[in-house]
Amino acid sequence: MTECFLVFALAIALGWPLGRYLAAVMRGAPMRGDRLFGAVERPLYRLLGIDPAQGMGWKAYAAAFLASNLLVGALTWIVFMTQAWLPLNPNDAPNLRWDLALHTMVSFLTNTNQQHYSGQAQLSHLAQMTGIVGLQVVTPMMGLALLAATLRGLFGGRVAAGAAAPGGEADVGNYWADVIRPTVRVLLPLCLVASLALTWQGVPSTLQGGPVAVPIDAAAGMPAQKIPVGPVAPMVAVKQLGSNGGGWYGPNSAVPLENPTPLSNLLEMLAIVLIPVAITFMVGAFTGRRRLTALVFGTMLTMSLASAGAALWSESLSGTSGDVALMEGKEVRFGAAPSALWAAVTTQTSNGSVDAMHDSMAPLTGLVTIADMLINAIWGGIGCGLQQFLVYLLLGVFVAGLMTGRTPELFGRKIEAREVKLLAALVLLQPLVLLVFTAITLALPSIAGTSNPSFHGISQVFYEYTSAYANNGSGFEGLGDATPWWNLSTTLVLLLGRYPALIVPLAIAASLARKRVAPEGPGTLQVETPTFALTLIALVLILTLLQFMPVLVLGPIADHLALRAL
């Protein structure tokens, strides 16, 4: 309980100033530190050969996003497949097989960090420091950039000195500057501080591969124990802060070397929620509508507390908390309640790091984590969480407009057939992808690779695809997922979960930006009110239940009933 209070109180207290700072960074406003940060940024812009002040239309912006993803992905894929021949490989990790390398690359490129490999044994220090950490730094900032562009579009585009971008499209900003500015001014400085704090608590920070220890009791039958170390702390810092989640070690932050103390656990949990919470404060300052922050923050906090409360209750207070198996998959230095809280916040924020094995948690805790990922907008990942929230917001306005018989409009701009069609396609993509892939995999037991029998096996498969589509990355890790089927099918799901979810809201915003603004009158639907926030929460719940109730009953709910019957 203390942890729960501390995590939320600290995230809100620090997220408020951080969000306002983020807004200034994304607006390109003059600020203290311009000389220092400018000295870092200017050479980068020169290397890119771009003018950071140049505006872009939404299509150019999206093209830059996709092209930069393609090249950084290709480069990373090559590193993974050639790491054995490259330097800084003290533990002699072999090259990754092409399909595992592809899945790993796409998984980190989509800010998911689903892992079908174990880092301590299968990646070289160089691969971790360049491919893994590089993507963990840049992909959340790409998500943030897309959000900034979408918000600019929603309010008619940037009114910079140059006015509209070429081609008559609304100017939604400069993609390159939107990625580089927050990376240099926000994420990397935060990561440096977090990395040092984690090393202080015991997370390794060295270029060596680690010694082979000679254990104390020779009678126990283990003549040698390799202690895997490396530049772990910088990676864990950005893993937690950047809604990434992929750990240095296979079992992630459950490993004492990755998360050594209750204090490091608290810091890592705070790092999970910090930037996603800050973004809700950024939104108001960035758009100049404080009440928008109130709507976003209030809605997300309500859902977050409900989900965290449900996980805490299920894992540490309900009838199943007396189970002798309670500590299976958990670490003694954390215990049940902090592990449950972590499970809730890591799935709310599209982070996906874990400090206990979700596979071994109570079935209803599993239900909470799956529901968090299906909604994927309770804070959500950096940038993508707000994009998903905007999708729900537009749907909410549309549905409320239908119910009250008014033309649906958001911020004075009419939502018409084109926008609703795009929204519908995006919303329907989720059940289509998740249910079809889950059904195919379950129909072929030889490829499913489930490690637990019965209903929990269904949960394992559904969890894996849900996590991939939500770009979360956590898993019911007993699943035998390092196979070509799992690597390739989840690669596709990862891509489908990332790019449409970021680009479609931008396209809708750009389409709205071209419309005339109708002044708000007494007949206008007020969205920034508690009534509408509750309507929105109801819509999110109903939508999720309508689409996924059957599979949730077959998976975690049946699993819970089976546990009760034991």
Partner 1 sequence: MNTSAANPNLWRASLALALITLLGFGLSYSLLATGAGRLLFPVQAAGSLLERDGRVIGSALVAQPFADDRYFRPRPSAANYDAMALSGSNQARTNPDLRARIDAARAAVAAREGVTPADVPGDLLTASGSGIDPHLSPAAVRIQIARVARARGWPVAEVERLVAAQLEAPQGGCWGRRASTCWR
- The least CB distance from residue 17 to partner 1, in Å, is 23
Of 199 and 349, the one with the shorter C-beta distance to partner 1 is 199
Q: What is d(CA 552, CA 556) in angstroms, rounded to the nearest whole number?
A: 6
331 contributes a contact to partner 1 by CB under 8 A: yes
Could you say which residues in the range 505-534 bind partner 1, by CB under 8 A? none
Site string for partner 1, 260-279 (x = CB under 8 A): xxxx-xx-------------
- The least CB distance from residue 45 to partner 1, in Å, is 9
Residues whose CB is less than 8 angstroms from the CB of residue 211 and which lie 6 or more positions away in sequence, other chains included: 226, 227
Q: Which stretch binds partner 1 (CB under 8 A): 60-68, 147-155, 372-380, 488-496?
A: 60-68
Q: What is d(CA 386, CA 376) in angstroms, rounded to the nearest whole number?
A: 9
Element (H, E) at 225: strand 225-226
Type of residue found at 262:
P
Of 132 and 502, the one with the shorter C-beta distance to partner 1 is 132
Could you say which residues in the range 352-371 bind partner 1, by CB under 8 A? 354-357, 359-363
C-alpha dist (Å) from residue 497 to 4, 134, 536: 30, 21, 22
421 contributes a contact to partner 1 by CB under 8 A: no
Could you say which residues in the range 430-469 bind partner 1, by CB under 8 A? 451-456, 459
485 contributes a contact to partner 1 by CB under 8 A: no
Of 397 and 495, the one with the shorter C-beta distance to partner 1 is 495
- The least CB distance from residue 542 to partner 1, in Å, is 29
Q: Which of 478, 506, 513, 525 binds partner 1 (CB under 8 A)?
A: 478
From 507, 532, 541, 542, select the one nearest 401 (Cα to Cα).
Answer: 532
Type of residue found at 110:
T
Q: Which stretch binds partner 1 (CB under 8 A): 135-143, 297-305, 513-521, 535-543?
A: 135-143
- The least CB distance from residue 156 to partner 1, in Å, is 18
Of 208 and 526, the one with the shorter C-beta distance to partner 1 is 208
- The least CB distance from residue 553 to partner 1, in Å, is 15
Q: Which stretch binds partner 1 (CB under 8 A): 132-140, 154-162, 296-304, 540-548?
A: 132-140
Could you say which residues in the range 16-55 bind partner 1, by CB under 8 A? 44, 47-50
Of 211 and 530, the one with the shorter C-beta distance to partner 1 is 211
Percentages (nearest 5) of helix, strand, coil residues in the chain:
70, 0, 30
Reduce the DSSP state of residue 457 to 3 states and report it.
helix
C-alpha dist (Å) from residue 478 to 258, 287, 460, 475, 563: 20, 45, 8, 8, 18
Q: Which of 10, 16, 68, 500 binds partner 1 (CB under 8 A)?
A: 68
Q: What is d(CA 109, CA 88) in angstroms, rounded to the nearest whole number?
A: 23
| C-alpha dihedral sign at 234, 240, 244, 249 | positive
Q: Which stretch binds partner 1 (CB under 8 A): 9-17, 231-239, 305-313, 389-397?
A: 231-239
C-alpha dist (Å) from residue 186 to 26, 57, 179, 190, 290: 10, 26, 11, 6, 22
Q: What is d(CA 390, CA 395) in angstroms, rounded to the nearest whole number?
A: 8
* Total binding residues toward partner 1, as defined by CB under 8 A: 135
- The least CB distance from residue 332 to partner 1, in Å, is 4
- The least CB distance from residue 131 to partner 1, in Å, is 7
Site string for partner 1, 182-221 (x = CB under 8 A): -x----x--xx--xx--xxxxxxxxxx-xxxxxxxx-xxx
Of 169 and 268, the one with the shorter C-beta distance to partner 1 is 169
- The least CB distance from residue 518 to partner 1, in Å, is 26
Q: In degrees rounded to 5, what are phi and psi of residue 540? A: -60, -45
| Helix residue spans in 408-529 (DSSP H) | 417-443, 445-448, 454-469, 484-513
Of 80 and 398, the one with the shorter C-beta distance to partner 1 is 80
Strand duo 409-410 + 212-213: pairing = unpaired
Neighbours of 207 (CB within 10 A): 12
Q: Are 235 and 133 in contact (CB under 8 A)?
A: yes
Q: Which of 17, 162, 166, 484 binds partner 1 (CB under 8 A)?
A: 166
Element (H, E) at 413: strand 413-414
Q: Are 145 and 175 in contact (CB under 8 A)?
A: yes
- The least CB distance from residue 473 to partner 1, in Å, is 16
155 contributes a contact to partner 1 by CB under 8 A: no
Q: Which of 243, 299, 320, 438 binds partner 1 (CB under 8 A)?
A: 320
- The least CB distance from residue 545 to partner 1, in Å, is 24
- The least CB distance from residue 523 to partner 1, in Å, is 35
Residues whose CB is less than 8 angstroms from the CB of residue 233 and which lie 6 or more positions away in sequence, other chains included: 195, 196, 198, 199, 203, 204, 205
- The least CB distance from residue 246 to partner 1, in Å, is 13
Neighbours of 228 (CB within 10 A): 18
Q: Are 392 and 536 in contact (CB under 8 A)?
A: yes
Of 206 and 287, the one with the shorter C-beta distance to partner 1 is 206
Strand duo 225-226 + 413-414: pairing = unpaired
Of 261 and 535, the one with the shorter C-beta distance to partner 1 is 261
Q: Which stretch binds partner 1 (CB under 8 A): 9-17, 175-183, 270-278, 525-533?
A: 175-183
Q: Which of 16, 20, 28, 251 binds partner 1 (CB under 8 A)?
A: 251
| Token representation of residue 120 | 């301590």
176 contributes a contact to partner 1 by CB under 8 A: yes
Q: Which of 165, 272, 374, 442 binds partner 1 (CB under 8 A)?
A: 165
- The least CB distance from residue 505 to partner 1, in Å, is 19
